[in-house]
A and B are shown apart, each in its own frame.
Chain A
Amino acid sequence: MEEMKDVIKDYVIKEYVEDDTEITYDTPLISGGIVDSFSMVSLKRFLENKYKISIPDDKATPEAFDSVNKIIALVKEYVKY
């Protein structure tokens, strides 16, 4: 799953980081103020399109999107191998 980790991390950096803030796999994204809750929707749509999954709205919580590692865990629940 290393590739997924990097795909998501790269997307987060490209999409949300507008200065030189360093992002790790565990950086708090929403509680850390990097991704606002409004912008979460594009991340959800990106994941759904990229991995051909559908994440129910009630699972797409700020907590579940709060770090790259947490997002990976969420995506894994829905990816069919």
Chain B
Amino acid sequence: MAYTDKIRGIYAEILTGLKDAGLFKQERYIHSAQAADIEVEFPSGAPLKKVINICANNYLGLSSHPEVVKAAHAGLDSHGYGMSSVRFICGTQDIHRKLEQMVTKFLGTEDTILFPSCMDANAGVFEAVLTKDDVMISDRLVHASIVDGIRLCSAMHDTFKHSDMEHLESKLQLHNDKRLKMVITDGVFSMDGDTAKLDKMVELCEKYDALLFIDDSHSSGFIGKTGRGTHEQYGVMGKIDIITTTFGKGLGGASGGCVSGRKELVEMCRQKARPYLFSNTIAPPVVAGVIKVLEILSASTDRRDKLEKNTEFWRKGLIDAGLIIKEGNTPIVPVMLFNAKLSQDVSRDLYDEGIYAIGFFFPVVPQGQARIRTQISAGHEIHHLEKALDAFKKVGKKYEILGKTKQEIIERYGM
């Protein structure tokens, strides 16, 4: 079919609608490597501006770490640029299996399978291990990639209220007649920065013979005493049946993900998971880089310890400044503004002050819960955080939100 003016008009109208609704996403071009200090071109064509980045998933500051970069170079030299194949045809190198074994050891599981991304891992895992005789019971705030994976699976699906263990138990009772029950949650919830109550969830899963799945993408490498993830923090290592995670955040920040867990479930993914079967293997330099990341993190907890200290400093600084943040102890720290336009205005003004942070509003977060999501990194030094706090104070003063309650902010700016 020809791409007629009529067809073009249909899409133009949709895109205009997104712009009118304030939902149109615009990319900002970064001209430097990912780090605490970056150079940004925004809007397109504008002169480069040096800003402090407080919205990356670069939790451990490893995205541009010299040892990781060097390892990726070496992997490129020794194993090539790409494999031009999916894993099971001719796309599995020794380093792919080595990385799987290292992840297994790092997370304390039985086996691991790599995927091109954690989005792919979540898209493929449920369909691979569950059937229409089973039920998936997920927290209502799980990540969009899990929602997509659930949609692709023939098992029945139900939800429980966010982190509500009583409600989860009622759902386990309701579906107790199913062949298999799988409870599904994020380890750290990406928008609020809170953690799943894994100790309680393990108890419930043991009581009702249910499998437990967690996506630890916003945890792996830094949550728990040695950075193994939320299962370490809650003392339930070895008791999670499936962990999915990404290498695109704390673990180096490039790309790739995995399913790690019970060996039979991992083998089911190797046999049946469609994103594994029909998508290219992870590129060799990325694999080599992640191997180096795991070596660094297994040798020392310095980076996660620094991240923890930075996070404490940042959370205290925001509270002392009179801003409202979501409680928790993870490096995801949402500054609550409640009103969508206010979140965009504050984000723009922070950028003018040299601080790069993005406003989130409905439908990414619930109506009336607009916010600036800040994310702290071990790559930040205290002077970065102090400068960012000063900017928040200046902008907060301009909008007269410092020391104000949620109700007062909503009364002034609306939901």
List residues of A whose CB falls within 8 A of some B CB: 18, 36, 38-39, 41-42, 45-46, 49
Contact = CB atoms under 8 A, between A and B. Distances in A.
Contacts of A45: 158, 174-175
Contacts, number: 23
Nearest to B157: A38
B70 interface: no
B149 to A, nearest CB: 12
A39 B158 CA distance: 5
A38 B158 contact: yes
B161 A42 contact: no
Contacts of B161: 18
A46 B170 CA distance: 11
Given A18-B161, A46-B174, A41 B156 contact: yes
Contacts of B159: 36, 38-39, 42
A10 to B, nearest CB: 14
Interface of B: 138, 140, 147, 150, 156-159, 161, 171, 174-175
Contacts of B157: 38, 41
Contacts of B175: 45
Given A39-B140, A41-B157, 11 more contacts: A38-B138, A38-B147, A38-B150, A38-B158, A38-B159, A41-B156, A41-B158, A42-B171, A45-B158, A45-B174, A46-B174
Contacts of A41: 156-158
A77 to B, nearest CB: 22
Nearest to B175: A45
A38 B138 CA distance: 10
A31 B400 CA distance: 38
B415 to A, nearest CB: 12
Contacts of B171: 42
Contacts of B147: 38
8 contacts: A18-B161, A38-B138, A39-B158, A39-B159, A41-B156, A42-B158, A42-B174, A45-B158
A39 B174 CA distance: 13
A49 B177 CA distance: 12
